[in-house]
Amino acid sequence: MEENNNEGIRLQKYLSEQGIMSRRAAEKAMTDGLIRVNGKKVLPGAKIYPDSDVIEYKGTVIEGASTEKAYLMLNKPAGYVTTMSDDLGRKCVADLVDEVKLRVWPVGRLDYDSEGLLIMTNDGELTNLLTHPRHEIPKIYQLTLKGSITEEQLNLMKRPMLIDGYCIRPVEARIISDRGTSTIVEVMLREGRNRQIRKMCDVCGFDVKRLRRVAVGKVELGDLPQGKWRELTKAEKAYLMSGGAEDYLGGDKKFDVLARKASEKRTYRVKSDGKRRSRYSGNKKYD
C-alpha cells in the first residue's frame, strides 16, 4: 500500500527510495542512533515530511533527491571504474552520463577492465531490487579467450567451484566461435560475486582477452555504441521492476533463448495453470 505523503513517509522507505541506503541498513542506523530528524534521534518506523524535515546521518545533512526518475542503459568501455567518483583520479562511469540532468548511479558493478551493459538509475527501489540476493535475473557475458577451447575444457567452467572460500553455483556456458587463436564463449550466471567470471577463468586456466556483458535477462545491449547511453524502454523498465517475473523457460532452452539475437526474440507468458508457453515475437521492439 502506498503511503500518503500528507501523513508523512516512513524514514527507512524514504532513504531507500533515494538510493541512500537499503531499508534494513536504515533501520540499523536508526537503532544505532546514527540518524537524526530535526536534531533528534529516531527509531525504525518513524515518519518524516521530506519537504520540511532536516535529516542527518552521522552529522551530515541528507539532501533530498528529485522525485523524477531516470532509467538508463550504458555501454561501459574498459578503463572506467563503476563509481561516481574515484580517489585515484581514474575515469568513472559518471563521466559518460554527465549530460543527464538527473543524478544517477550504477546498479551493480563491472570491473575496470570489463565492458558492456550497465544499468544506471536514481531509483533506490529498483537498485535494491536488482542487487538483492533473492532476485536472480540472469546476466549474460561474452568472453574472448586466448587460444582454442574444447567442450571438455569448457565443462570445467560449468561445474561448482570454490572461489574466495565460497562455493559458487554452476553456470551455463557455450562456445560461440573458435578462431584457433581465440575462442568466444557466452556465459550465463545468476549470481555476481566480485570478479567472479575472471576468477573462474583463472581456476580453469583460461586467458581472458575481453569480457563484455551483453544482457541482463531480457534487457539486451544490442548495437548501443561504447561509451554511449540510452533510456530504457517502458517494457524493459517494467521487466526489471518485476524482478524478472516474466523470465525464460528453464533448462537448456533458457540459455539458448537468452543468447538468441534480437531479431529472433521469443517471449513467454505464464498461463493460469502455471505453465509457461512461448509466443514468437519476431523483430518487434520491446516498447
| pLDDT tens readout for residues 140-176 | 999 999 999 888 889 888 888 888 888 888 889 999 9
Give me the CATH number covering residue 158: 3.30.70.1560
pLDDT of residue 192 exceeding 80, the answer is no
Choosing from 165, 183, 216, the residue where a domain stops is 216
Closest CA to 153 of 128, 176, 174: 174
Of 53, 111, 178, 256, which one is the catalytic site residue?
A: 111
Burial 66-81 (b: 16+ CB within 10 A, else e): eeebbbbbbbbbeebb
pLDDT at 161: 84
Measured between alpha carbons, how far is 97 from 265 in angstroms, rounded to an integer?
29
Instruction: Identify whether 24 is part of a domain.
Output: yes
Within 10 A of 120 (CB to CB), how many other CB atoms are there?
Answer: 24
Last residue of a domain, one of 216, 238, 260: 216
- Which amino acid is located at 179 in the chain? R
Write down the pLDDT at residue 162: 82
CA-wise closest residue to 219 among 197, 201, 244: 244
User: Tens digits of per-residue pLDDT, 54-65?
Assistant: 898 888 887 765
Residues 6 or more apart from 268 whose CB is under 8 A from it? 246, 247, 248, 249, 276, 277, 278, 279
In sequence order, the β-bridge partners of residue 116 are 76, 213
Cell 500500500 maps to which residue? 1
pLDDT at position 68 over 60: yes
Q: Which structural domain, as residue segments, surrounds residue 212?
A: 139-216
Q: pLDDT tens digits for 226-285?
A: 999 999 999 999 999 887 765 543 333 443 443 343 323 333 333 334 443 433 333 333
The residue from 216, 239, 258 where one domain ends is 216
Q: What is the mean pLDDT of residues 16-23?
A: 74
Residue pair 18/4 in contact (Cβ under 8 Å)? The answer is: no
Query: Residue 132: inside a domain, yes or no?
Result: no
- Domain presence at residue 116: no
Which H helix or E strand runs over 155? helix 151-158
Is 74 a member of any domain?
no
Least confident of 78-82, 144-148, 170-174, 189-193: 189-193
Domain-embedded: residue 23 = yes
pLDDT tens, position by position, 91-127: 999 999 999 988 888 988 899 999 999 999 988 788 8
| 111: annotated active-site residue | yes
What's the pLDDT band for 1 if we cut at 50, 70, 90? Answer: very low
The domain that holds 31 is classified in CATH as 3.10.290.10
pLDDT band per the 50, 70, 90 thresholds, residue 30: very high
What would the grid cell of residue 272 be? 493460469
- In a domain? residue 224: no
36 within a domain of the structure (yes/no): yes
Number of structural domains in the chain = 2
Q: How confident is the model at residue 32 (pLDDT cuts 50, 70, 90)?
A: very high
Residue 155 lies in a domain: yes
Element at 199 (helix H, strand E): helix 196-204
Nine cell digits for residue 266: 521469443
